[in-house]
């Protein structure tokens, strides 16, 4: 069974589809998730829950600590790589972004270049899993970021579990930011957005990788969507601020376990955060563009 949809189908996708068996009697209803699962099984028959490593997210530190300026961790990427083949993260001193895809870990530098992650690099924040497709949704007409999020929100069976999300396809435009290496004394994360490098690339094929997390996880991680982009040539990418998907495929991996590994070194964990509006700072740090002057726009 295949399932194809576009943003105009979003409303319909929130409804249930009735199917009938060979006798013509009603076989009950299939949710969007069940239909998407059928598509995943069709395209990835070996991707099953039987893999003992599936269903777990391994995360280094918390976004709350990152917000407070805890930019130096003590976990090497060599250790992170043991816990997943897919995910997002950053590096000590907030030196760029990390995107992991198909077992390859990429370092997205603020100068726009992309390199391999050095396993000895330390990270103050990273989240990875062994990605196994649970559900797939084909997109065959232009779909904005907000439409795509609405479609995924309407498809998943529970908003209280975590999902690794992968989007492969042709993007009409992708706007990313890349963190710039910071120097001590570190500012709060929200202050670093003033120097972040933003780029918009157009008509680019690539992959978005990341997670959709429940609202109750705000502060431990980013509630909602936290996505990084990598183009097919592996020459550009960054933390996703916005995109337009022309056509492609969304693949979802439902995860029910979150393993947090906290830093043992002293840092501003939680300091100054009790009274802070964590959600507002996350929104400003993770989803906001900076002022226009440093914004560049170019085709790949
Ligand atoms: Zn990010």
List domains and CATH numbers for the chain: 56-298 (3.30.1330.80)
> What is this structure's pTM?
0.83
Query: What pLDDT, on a 0 to 100 scale, did the predictor assign at position 46?
Result: 44
Query: What pLDDT, on a 0 to 100 scale, did the predictor assign at position 62?
Result: 92
Mean pLDDT in residue range 290-299: 39
Query: What pLDDT, on a 0 to 100 scale, did the predictor assign at position 275?
Result: 41
The alpha carbon of 63 and the centre of ligand 1 are apart by a number of angstroms equal to 10
Query: What pLDDT, on a 0 to 100 scale, did the predictor assign at position 12?
Result: 34
pLDDT single digits (tens) 29-74: 678 888 888 778 776 544 444 565 678 999 999 998 898 899 999 9
The alpha carbon of 41 and the centre of ligand 1 are apart by a number of angstroms equal to 30
Query: What pLDDT, on a 0 to 100 scale, did the predictor assign at position 19?
Result: 36
Query: What pLDDT, on a 0 to 100 scale, did the predictor assign at position 265?
Result: 62
Residue 146 tokens, joined: 């907000």
Cβ-Cβ contacts under 8 Å for 27 (sequence gap 6 or more): 19, 20, 21
pLDDT above 70 (res 257): yes
Query: What pLDDT, on a 0 to 100 scale, did the predictor assign at position 292?
Result: 40
pLDDT above 50 (res 4): no
The alpha carbon of 227 and the centre of ligand 1 are apart by a number of angstroms equal to 6
Distance from C-alpha of 9 to C-alpha of 195, rounded to nearest angstrom? 39
Unique residue bearing structure tokens 């979150």: 258
As a whole number, the mean pLDDT across the chain is 83
Mean pLDDT in residue range 272-297: 59
Query: What pLDDT, on a 0 to 100 scale, did the predictor assign at position 18?
Result: 35
Mean pLDDT in residue range 274-280: 63
Residue-wise burial string across 161-178, b where 16 or more C-beta atoms lie within 10 A, e elsewhere: bbbbbbbbbbbebbbbbb
Bridge partners (DSSP) listed for residue 200: 175, 297
The alpha carbon of 125 and the centre of ligand 1 are apart by a number of angstroms equal to 10
Distance from C-alpha of 90 to C-alpha of 99, rounded to nearest angstrom? 9
Least confident of 12-21, 23-32, 208-217: 12-21
pLDDT single digits (tens) 89-137: 999 999 999 999 999 999 999 988 999 999 999 999 999 999 999 999 9
The alpha carbon of 28 and the centre of ligand 1 are apart by a number of angstroms equal to 41
Q: Which range among 174-178, 216-220, 280-284 has the greatest average pLDDT?
A: 174-178
Query: What pLDDT, on a 0 to 100 scale, did the predictor assign at position 36?
Result: 86
The alpha carbon of 84 and the centre of ligand 1 are apart by a number of angstroms equal to 17
The alpha carbon of 176 and the centre of ligand 1 are apart by a number of angstroms equal to 9
What does DSSP say about strands 122-123 and 126-129: parallel, antiparallel, or unpaired? unpaired
Query: What pLDDT, on a 0 to 100 scale, did the predictor assign at position 194?
Result: 83
The alpha carbon of 91 and the centre of ligand 1 are apart by a number of angstroms equal to 11
pLDDT above 50 (res 238): yes
The alpha carbon of 53 and the centre of ligand 1 are apart by a number of angstroms equal to 24
The alpha carbon of 134 and the centre of ligand 1 are apart by a number of angstroms equal to 23
Query: What pLDDT, on a 0 to 100 scale, did the predictor assign at position 50?
Result: 54
Share of the chain above pLDDT 90, in %: 62
The alpha carbon of 94 and the centre of ligand 1 are apart by a number of angstroms equal to 11
DSSP state of 221: B
What does DSSP say about strands 197-213 and 224-231: parallel, antiparallel, or unpaired? antiparallel
The alpha carbon of 284 and the centre of ligand 1 are apart by a number of angstroms equal to 12
Query: What pLDDT, on a 0 to 100 scale, did the predictor assign at position 5?
Result: 43
Unique residue bearing structure tokens 């507002």: 280
CA 185 to chain centre: 29
Please report, for residues 33, 114, 124, 146, 291, the alpha-carbon distance to residue 10 in angstroms, rounded to integers and kept in the order given.
13, 35, 37, 11, 33
pLDDT above 70 (res 262): yes
Query: What pLDDT, on a 0 to 100 scale, did the predictor assign at position 7?
Result: 42
Query: What pLDDT, on a 0 to 100 scale, did the predictor assign at position 294?
Result: 39
| Residue 278 binned pLDDT confidence (cut-offs 50, 70, 90) | confident
Least confident of 20-34, 136-150, 232-246: 20-34
The alpha carbon of 98 and the centre of ligand 1 are apart by a number of angstroms equal to 8
Please report, for residues 92, 195, 248, 252, the alpha-carbon distance to residue 206 in angstroms, rounded to integers and kept in the order given.
26, 26, 10, 17
pLDDT above 60 (res 298): no
Query: What pLDDT, on a 0 to 100 scale, did the predictor assign at position 88?
Result: 98
């Amino acid at each position: 069974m295949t399932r194809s949809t576009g943003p105009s189908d979003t409303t319909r996708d929130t409804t249930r589809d009735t199917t009938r068996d060979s006798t013509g009697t009603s076989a009950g209803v299939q949710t969007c998730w069940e239909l998407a699962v059928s598509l995943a099984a069709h395209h990835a028959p070996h991707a099953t829950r039987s893999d003992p490593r599936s269903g777990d997210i391994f995360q280094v530190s918390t976004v709350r600590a990152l917000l407070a300026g805890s930019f130096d961790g003590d976990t090497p990427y060599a250790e992170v790589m043991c816990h997943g083949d897919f995910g997002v993260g950053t590096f000590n001193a907030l030196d760029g972004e990390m995107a992991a895809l198909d077992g390859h870990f990429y370092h997205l530098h603020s100068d726009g270049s992309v390199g391999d992650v050095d396993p000895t690099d330390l990270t103050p924040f990273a989240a990875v899993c062994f990605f196994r497709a649970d559900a797939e949704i084909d997109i065959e007409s232009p779909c904005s970021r907000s439409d795509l999020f609405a479609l995924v929100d309407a498809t998943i069976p529970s908003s209280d579990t975590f999902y690794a999300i992968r989007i492969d396809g042709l993007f009409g435009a992708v706007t990313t930011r890349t963190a710039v290496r910071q120097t001590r004394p570190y500012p709060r994360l929200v202050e670093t957005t003033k120097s972040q490098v933003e780029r918009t690339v157009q008509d680019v094929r690539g992959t978005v990788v990341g997670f959709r997390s429940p609202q109750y996880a705000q502060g431990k991680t980013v509630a909602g969507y936290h996505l990084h982009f990598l183009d097919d040539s592996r020459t550009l990418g960054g933390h996703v601020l916005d995109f337009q998907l022309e056509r492609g495929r969304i693949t979802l991996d439902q995860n029910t376990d979150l393993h947090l590994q906290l830093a043992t070194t002293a840092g501003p964990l939680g300091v100054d955060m009790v009274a802070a509006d964590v959600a507002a700072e996350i929104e400003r740090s993770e989803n906001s563009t900076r002022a226009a002057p440093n914004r560049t726009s170019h085709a790949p």
